[in-house]
Structure 1
Amino acid sequence: MCGLLALVTDPGAESLPSPSTVDAVSGATALMRHRGPDEPGTWSDDAQVVLGFNRLSIIDIAHSHQPLRWGPPEAPDRYVLVFNGEIYNYLELREALRGEYGAEFATDGDGEAIVAAYHHWGADALTKLRGMFAFALWDNVEQELFCARDPFGIKPMFMASGPGGTVVGSEKKCLVEVCEKIGRLGVDLGIDERAVQHYTVLQYVPEPETLHRGIRRLESGSYARIRAGGEPQVTRYFTPRFAAVPVASGSRDDAQRRYDEITAVLEDSVAKHMRADVTVGAFLSGGIDSTAIAALAMRHNPRLITFTTGFEREGFSEVDVAVASAEAIGARHVTKVVSQAEFVAALPEIVWYLDEPVADPALVPLYFIAREARKHVKVVLSGEGADELFGGYTIYREPLSLKPFDFLPRGVRRSVGKMATPLPDGMRGKSLLHRGSLTLEERYYGNARSFSDAQLRAVLPRFRADWVHTDVTAPLYAQSQGWDPVARMQHIDLFTWLRGDILVKADKMTMANSLELRVPFLDPEVFAVASRLPYDQKITRATTKYALRRALEPIVPAHVLNRPKLGFPVPIRHWLRSGELLDWAQAMVTSSGAGDLISLSAVRTLLDEHRTGVSDHSRRLWTVLIFMLWHAIFVEGSVTPQISRPDYPVQL
């Protein structure tokens, strides 16, 4: 885990990068010191390229410094790399490159494996990397910056391009800083109101958008080639595809072989994710995914430390279950309990680290448990991705409950939906009738939707009816024609909820604390196995992740195996009715300068209705409040977070 920044300027705009240009990159890189407090680095070619880097040293700590130079014997300084992430099969790659091409390496790290693989295999090297990564590689011969991001989007990569050049990096705030200091880049830093509307609907800003018009994200599974004076040329190298297998067939032995295959690939993935020259721990909630990862990790480190978090309010904690799980697998366990006052006080700092608003309250406890874990370890394993790969969300069972509607003619289904409209809100069956009248493409946005269309119009003064969720989902549904409905929903979530919410909060909240988070479920080999599962091996009327649960029976404690999914339960519904969080929310609405983008009167109405118990508006309120806080920090400058940067030891 590290932070990178790379600038390619147009020599036609200015022949040499002035010292101020190098200083601008160095200064902006310092803004993300939390991503790599161990070692900063800057490199310039004295012509048009500047690379900046902050290192969190995990593998080959004494060497593998970055920016990293590598080249073949005839051109030893051809390439310069800045790289965020880990390549878990780097030992195998280095051996293959030595055997096939006689490649030579000066370090014992994974960075040289990336460069050597690119030199010999070109962009095809990306399909051979098993890991999480975002990197920028300057080729002195081709005079080209090659940037790439891992298949699932575990590690971030932002890009800003204008007539004077292109800048890419791990954090958007750094790009904004460079663009403001080097005005000749000509990047448009105005607010993208279309992205604001998408955020308000989805609770996150969908890729490749950001809230700044001139800054975009390099999408997951994509690479970009950047030359001076030209726009980045983006190519997708990986598109996850689920096999169109409606139901399982074969004998009981065939089913067991399928479960054994899942177990074997997970064991292999966890083994490779344990590779590090520092101590590795694990996050442990009360669920099956993190428990499975921790149990498998114990096989490689019997002294494993696990971590969980909860709240002082009763009923909003999985601490007891996590403690029981840690006892069952034999792990040492550490718990962090968060108070409402701590929760509120940390919000400005958390949103500053986020760069873009994400309206998921679970990222707050994740921030606190990452801070606690960093006192003990430098790397943690976690269970993100299991739900998207193996069918873990309860909403994936909806096609089963709506199956009878599939037999109705389209016109009849529409009529049923109209019949439900006048029924009172909350009446049993109304939602079923409404959703049954819609196609999957119409009703499923992904795992989050905060506002109805009417509520959205009320809260957004500049609401546009032509900026809708299908801007994001329609191309994805087109890719999944002919798949079973669960596979199509998984496909939507891989490109929306997973990379827009789950992986953003995982990366940002752990990196805020200089902690590396690894996700063994999001591994190409694990995906290859999961993608072949039939519909009824993912979802049944009784449970989710059916095949995964069967595969994990010998590994996961019984009290966890069939426990319903909770995630990080956060009591914002209660806290927004009284106490510090309500006080903070009311003050935020009163002082907000975002009134041109968010209707403050509409938000006050929502807050009053929620406070008095008329309606539960907690998720809608959280969405707009987090946006207001983001706006106050990054646009108005009226809130200045107190950024705490503990000086952790280099090695733990």
Structure 2
Amino acid sequence: MCGLLALLTDPSADVSEDLVEAVSDASHLMRHRGPDEPGTWHDEAVVLGFNRLSIIDIAHSHQPLRWGPAESPDRYVLVFNGEIYNYLELREELATHHGAVFHTDGDGEAIIAAYHYWGTDALTRLRGMFAFALWDTVEREMFCARDPFGIKPLYMATGRSGTAVGSEKKCLLGIADELGIDTGIDERAVQHYTVLQYVPEPETLHRGIRRLESGSYARVRAGEMPEVTRYFKPRFAAKPFEPGTEQSRYDEITAVLEDSVAKHMRADVTVGAFLSGGIDSTAIAALAMRHNPRLITFTTGFEREGFSEVDVAVASAEAIGARHVTKVVSQAEFVEALPEIVWYLDEPVADPALVPLFFIAREARKHVKVVLSGEGADELFGGYTIYREPLSLKPFNYLPRPLRRSMAKVSAPLPEGMRGKSLLHRGSQTLEERYYGNARSFSDAHLKAVLPGFRSDWTHTDVTAPVYAESKGWDPVARMQHIDLFTWLRGDILVKADKMTMANSLELRVPFLDPEVFAVASRLPLEQKITRSTTKYALRRALEPVIPPHVLNRPKLGFPVPIRHWLRSGELLDWAYGMVDSSGAGELVNLAAVRTMLDEHRNGASDHSRRLWTVLIFMLWHAIFVEGSVTPQIKEPTYPVQL
């Protein structure tokens, strides 16, 4: 787990010492991703900067890493963020069948050798999380890639002087002037953010900076635009259970999860686990205990009754025999940390759960250097309650299309919150129209009020239509899962997981998001994912021997955050009014409308908490990255090199 920055210059530009220094300075902006060891390398065309968080082969595997075959031993130079969990198996296969010779005991050389001998097919053989840039000194080409699910980020920007890629956008902004990158605000991305609560890939809020999408690679040559190719195209290909095979399929799920956790435990440092008390994190922690009986688990809660799952997590930890650590967060701590958190994010993400994640990561880093977590289980196994919506709306499918359309007109004039209004409205729509992921807080009317530049032709379908086109003929739940893989998972869940843990120099691993686990989960039929009474049906059945009974059928937990209450009184409300007055975002946000929403929420007339949070986080982002009116106090805790 590390931070990388790579620059391939235009043929007319020289790699001067000033440019090398600029890249080095920009790399320092993400020192939190790898405080153990900085590194740089350059030739006449390329500059590579790196910050290492040493996890595997600590004494060696320094980066930038050079490797090549016997006839050209220094052909490739790699900067790599992530972990390859099957690196031992890959190294053995490459040595046995291709004669590859390795000089370290780490996973970086496995990536280079796999690419040399297998080309782009190597990416489908890598079992792990990764974002890397590989410079080929012979072909004079930079090869960049991200893992299938987008666990690790990679930003890209091309200007008049070359192309840069990096683990964090702030690093590209740091060399934007040298490259001639357009750093103007992308108003279309602002509207997408406001609707979705995150900025969808490949967009960022800066016009000239984009992200390499999950499951894609790019070839970059000097003086040319990057050529991007998708190599991972997930398919939910349901395979009905044959009579009498139910238990064998559940056993298959258990076996593949146990194997994934075992490989995710590979490290030369201490590995812990996040534990919310729900089925996903408890399953990961329980399986990890089989490999480390002294496992430490971590959870967080708030100083407000009803907004803490600490007791449930403690009970779960006791049931599996893990040592447990908790962190309770006050409202004052919450507010104080917001500028620092948004600076680490690079892009606004309006998910309040990232704040407690930041605090528990900071606490966990005092004890361990790596944690396991349960992200991805909901998308793979059908865990969101909204996935049951097709069951409740199924009767509408039998109505003639014109009649369904007329129901929308009937529901429109009904008062907000009136029983049946939402059902009629949703029943009138197709799946493509009504479902665009887990974030649905802004109607068009709200958007028009808040965004002066609102355009009706900038909609969620910009993001979802191409994804839906790939899933025609699938069952509706599989189509919703497919949408979430390309939207909510990589736009919200994995961004906050990466950014909040890396902010604290902590590596987070997600065993559910493993290609082998996905291969098993993707074959589950609808009835093994969603029923009228539960979610993740097959996963729950598979985990019966693994996790405590009190956890097995609990609803989804996560880290609940009391923003609805805190935005009605106290430090957070004061901060919110102050942000409206000082963000300088008046050209992009209707400040009077936001102030009215705050007033209505404060006096209890309406619950605007999620909409307010979305806009306020954007305004804080604007104050930091555009106006410069807020300067976060970045705290860099000093940790031992090895834990």
Equivalent residue number for residue 110 of structure 1: 107
Work out which of the residue numbers 203, 208, 212 in structure 2 matches 1:218: 212
**TM-score normalised by structure 2 residue count:** 0.99
Secondary structure at 2:47's aligned position in 1? strand
What is the rounded CA distance, in whole Å, between the counterparts of 1:56 and 1:113 in structure 2?
A: 18
What is the Cα deviation at residue 18 of structure 1? Answer: 1.0
What is the Cα deviation at residue 244 of structure 1? Answer: 4.2
**Superposed, which structure 2 residues align to 1:61-210 within 5 Å?**
61-180=58-177, 182=178, 185-210=179-204
What is the rounded CA distance, in whole Å, between the counterparts of 2:11 and 2:22 in structure 1?
A: 17
Residue 547 (1) aligns with residue 538 (2)? yes
Equivalent residue number for residue 386 of structure 1: 377
Letter in structure 2 aligned against 1:259? Y
Secondary structure at 2:635's aligned position in 1? coil
Is contact 2:303–2:329 with CA below 8 Å preserved after alignment?
yes
Equivalent residue number for residue 647 of structure 1: 638
Equivalent residue number for residue 30 of structure 1: 28
**448-457 vs 292-301, which moves further:** 448-457
What is the Cα deviation at residue 131 of structure 1? Answer: 0.1
Secondary structure at 1:32's aligned position in 2? helix
Identity of aligned residues (%): 85
Equivalent residue number for residue 318 of structure 2: 327
What is the rounded CA distance, in whole Å, between the counterparts of 2:285 and 2:557 in structure 1?
A: 18
**561-570 vs 143-152, which moves further:** 561-570
Deviations 1:77-125 (A, max 9, x none): 1000000000000000000000101100000000000000000011110
What is the rounded CA distance, in whole Å, between the counterparts of 2:242 and 2:217 in structure 1?
A: 41
What is the Cα deviation at residue 178 of structure 1? Answer: 1.0
Equivalent residue number for residue 44 of structure 1: 42
**Superposed, which structure 2 residues align to 1:315-464 within 5 Å?**
315-464=306-455
What is the rounded CA distance, in whole Å, between the counterparts of 1:249 and 1:381 in structure 2?
A: 31
What is the rounded CA distance, in whole Å, between the counterparts of 2:395 and 2:623 in structure 1?
A: 49
Is contact 1:244–1:482 with CA below 8 Å preserved after alignment?
no
Equivalent residue number for residue 6 of structure 1: 6
Equivalent residue number for residue 242 of structure 2: 250
Deviations 1:492-514 (A, max 9, x none): 00000000000000000000000
Gaps of 5+ in 2: none
**Superposed, which structure 2 residues align to 1:543-622 within 5 Å?**
543-622=534-613
Work out which of the residue numbers 226, 233, 239 in structure 1 matches 2:227: 233
What is the Cα deviation at residue 202 of structure 1? Answer: 0.3
What is the rounded CA distance, in whole Å, between the counterparts of 1:48 and 1:646 in structure 2?
A: 36
What count of residue pairs does the alignment treat as equivalent?
643
What is the rounded CA distance, in whole Å, between the counterparts of 2:360 and 2:181 in structure 1?
A: 37
What is the rounded CA distance, in whole Å, between the counterparts of 1:204 and 1:168 in structure 2?
A: 21
What is the Cα deviation at residue 249 of structure 1? Answer: 4.0
What is the rounded CA distance, in whole Å, between the counterparts of 1:486 and 1:514 in structure 2?
A: 37
What is the rounded CA distance, in whole Å, between the counterparts of 1:203 and 1:541 in structure 2?
A: 28
Letter in structure 2 aligned against 1:28? A
What is the Cα deviation at residue 186 of structure 1? Answer: 2.2
What is the Cα deviation at residue 592 of structure 1? Answer: 2.0
Letter in structure 2 aligned against 1:114? I
Secondary structure at 2:150's aligned position in 1? coil
What is the Cα deviation at residue 428 of structure 1? Answer: 1.1
What is the rounded CA distance, in whole Å, between the counterparts of 2:74 and 2:582 in structure 1?
A: 54
Work out which of the residue numbers 517, 527, 544 in structure 2 matches 1:526: 517
Going from structure 1 to structure 2, the CA distance change for 1:483 and 1:244 (only over 3 Å counts) comes to: farther
Secondary structure at 2:308's aligned position in 1? coil
Which of structure 1's runs of 4+ aligned residues deviate more than 3 A? none
Is contact 2:298–2:326 with CA below 8 Å preserved after alignment?
yes
Work out which of the residue numbers 496, 510, 521 in structure 1 matches 2:501: 510
Equivalent residue number for residue 629 of structure 2: 638
- CA-based RMSD of the aligned residues comes to 0.7
Equivalent residue number for residue 312 of structure 1: 303
What is the rounded CA distance, in whole Å, between the counterparts of 2:154 and 2:636 in structure 1?
A: 23
What is the rounded CA distance, in whole Å, between the counterparts of 2:312 and 2:583 in structure 1?
A: 40
What is the rounded CA distance, in whole Å, between the counterparts of 1:286 and 1:400 in structure 2?
A: 28
Is contact 1:416–1:437 with CA below 8 Å preserved after alignment?
yes
Letter in structure 1 aligned against 2:146? R
What is the rounded CA distance, in whole Å, between the counterparts of 2:354 and 2:145 in structure 1?
A: 26
Deviations 1:356-381 (A, max 9, x none): 00000000000000000000000000
What is the Cα deviation at residue 250 of structure 1? Answer: 2.4
Residue 485 (1) aligns with residue 466 (2)? no
Secondary structure at 1:142's aligned position in 2? coil
Residue 284 (1) aligns with residue 278 (2)? no
Deviations 1:32-55 (A, max 9, x none): 00000000000001x110000000
**TM-score normalised by structure 1 residue count:** 0.98
Deviations 1:366-409 (A, max 9, x none): 00000000000000000000000000000000000000000000
Secondary structure at 2:134's aligned position in 1? strand
Equivalent residue number for residue 18 of structure 2: 20
Letter in structure 1 aligned against 2:148? P
Secondary structure at 1:7's aligned position in 2? strand
Letter in structure 2 aligned against 1:239? K
Residue 272 (1) aligns with residue 263 (2)? yes
What is the rounded CA distance, in whole Å, between the counterparts of 2:219 and 2:421 in structure 1?
A: 51
Secondary structure at 2:175's aligned position in 1? helix
Is contact 2:238–2:522 with CA below 8 Å preserved after alignment?
no
What is the Cα deviation at residue 430 of structure 1? Answer: 1.0
Is contact 2:80–2:131 with CA below 8 Å preserved after alignment?
yes
What is the rounded CA distance, in whole Å, between the counterparts of 1:157 and 1:623 in structure 2?
A: 24
What is the Cα deviation at residue 73 of structure 1? Answer: 1.0
What is the rounded CA distance, in whole Å, between the counterparts of 2:63 and 2:583 in structure 1?
A: 41
Secondary structure at 1:31's aligned position in 2? helix
Letter in structure 1 aligned against 2:183? L
Deviations 1:551-571 (A, max 9, x none): 000101111100011221100
Residue 629 (1) aligns with residue 626 (2)? no
Secondary structure at 2:49's aligned position in 1? strand
Equivalent residue number for residue 57 of structure 1: 54
Is contact 2:335–2:572 with CA below 8 Å preserved after alignment?
yes
Letter in structure 2 aligned against 1:614? A
What is the rounded CA distance, in whole Å, between the counterparts of 2:598 and 2:613 in structure 1?
A: 10
What is the rounded CA distance, in whole Å, between the counterparts of 1:224 and 1:90 in structure 2?
A: 22
What is the rounded CA distance, in whole Å, between the counterparts of 1:538 and 1:226 in structure 2?
A: 41
Letter in structure 1 aligned against 2:212? L
Is contact 2:238–2:524 with CA below 8 Å preserved after alignment?
no
Is contact 2:276–2:557 with CA below 8 Å preserved after alignment?
no
Letter in structure 2 aligned against 1:19? E
Letter in structure 1 aligned against 2:139? E
What is the rounded CA distance, in whole Å, between the counterparts of 1:508 and 1:264 in structure 2?
A: 30
Secondary structure at 1:40's aligned position in 2? strand
Is contact 1:507–1:517 with CA below 8 Å preserved after alignment?
yes
Secondary structure at 1:477's aligned position in 2? helix
Deviations 1:595-652 (A, max 9, x none): 0000000100110110010110000000000000000000000000000001110100
